[in-house]
């Protein structure tokens, strides 16, 4: 299952998984695909999970959805720019929505054998790695997401000891989210390259990595 399959990384991951051939079926979900899934509406998440359940064993759930800033607001450079409405929407999409994915999709993972729930997070969600400041809503919502993944991993281990619940940092990828950086000279990774790297990390991860924030090269990013 690929959530956010209409976005840059989500679409590339869907294509990579379909080409890989290891899964009997690859299903993409988003606000512009069927089955419809909107991270701000729990009933659509529950319906999407029910849809997935009738298509066989779910061995991989990959969430590619997220926002840098919501409803056209720019990422905050100072506390003076904090807006409670924009902040709440960032938390809804980056943290609360993925928490509801955990709620409805983790019970679908088989109790035996390897299975993975992976969600895109970000290095800037690491509190100890934050030396630049700014981007309050994005930093904080991704830090919340990392804690949610960590907490869910503890519970998942009791139910499915070989499963992994992962937060993944894809690097800076050439997608709509990275649009503000295109004029800075920063080297952007293609969505296809990012998907291949992330799939390699998922392949190499096991239960011992469950609950960690992993970089696209497989190394652990500190909290």
CB of 62 within 8 A of CB of 23?
A: no
Residue appearing with tokens 């729930």: 117
Q: How many CA atoms lie within 13 A of 200 on its CB side?
A: 12
Number of alpha carbons in the 13 Å side-chain half-sphere of residue 24: 6
Closest CA relative to residue 106, chosen from 170, 26, 164: 164
Which of 25, 103, 142, 183 is an active site residue?
142
**DSSP output for 129-177:** T--S---HHHHHHHHHHHHHHHHHHHHHHHH-TTEEEEEE---SBSSGG
Active-site entry in 25, 103, 114, 138: 138
DSSP H or E segment with residue 49: helix 42-53
Q: Is 136 a catalytic residue?
A: no
Are the beta carbons of 30 and 37 closer than 8 angstroms? yes
CA distances from 82 to 72, 77, 86, 136 (A): 14, 9, 8, 8
- What residues act catalytically? 138, 142
């Amino acid at each position: 299952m690929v959530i956010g399959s209409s976005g840059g990384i989500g679409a590339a991951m869907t294509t990579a998984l379909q080409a890989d051939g290891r899964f009997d079926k690859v299903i993409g979900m988003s606000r512009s695909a069927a089955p419809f899934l909107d991270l701000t509406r729990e009933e659509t998440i529950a319906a999407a999970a029910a849809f997935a359940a009738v298509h066989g064993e779910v061995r991989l759930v990959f969430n590619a959805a997220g926002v840098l800033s919501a409803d056209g607001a720019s990422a905050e450079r100072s506390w003076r720019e904090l807006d409670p409405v924009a902040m709440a929407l960032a938390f809804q999409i980056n943290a609360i929505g993925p928490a509801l994915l955990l709620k409805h999709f983790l019970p679908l993972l088989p109790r035996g054998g390897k299975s993975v729930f992976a969600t895109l997070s970000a290095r800037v969600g690491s509190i100890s790695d934050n030396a630049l400041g700014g981007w309050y809503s994005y930093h904080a919502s991704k830090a919340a997401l990392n804690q949610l993944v960590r907490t869910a991993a503890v519970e998942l281990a009791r139910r499915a000891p070989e499963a992994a619940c992962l937060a993944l940092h894809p690097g800076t990828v050439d997608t709509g989210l990275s649009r503000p950086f295109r004029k800075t000279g920063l080297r952007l990774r293609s969505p296809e390259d990012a998907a291949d790297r992330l799939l390699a990390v998922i392949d190499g991860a096991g239960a011992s990595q469950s609950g960690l924030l992993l970089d696209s090269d497989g190394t652990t990013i500190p909290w």
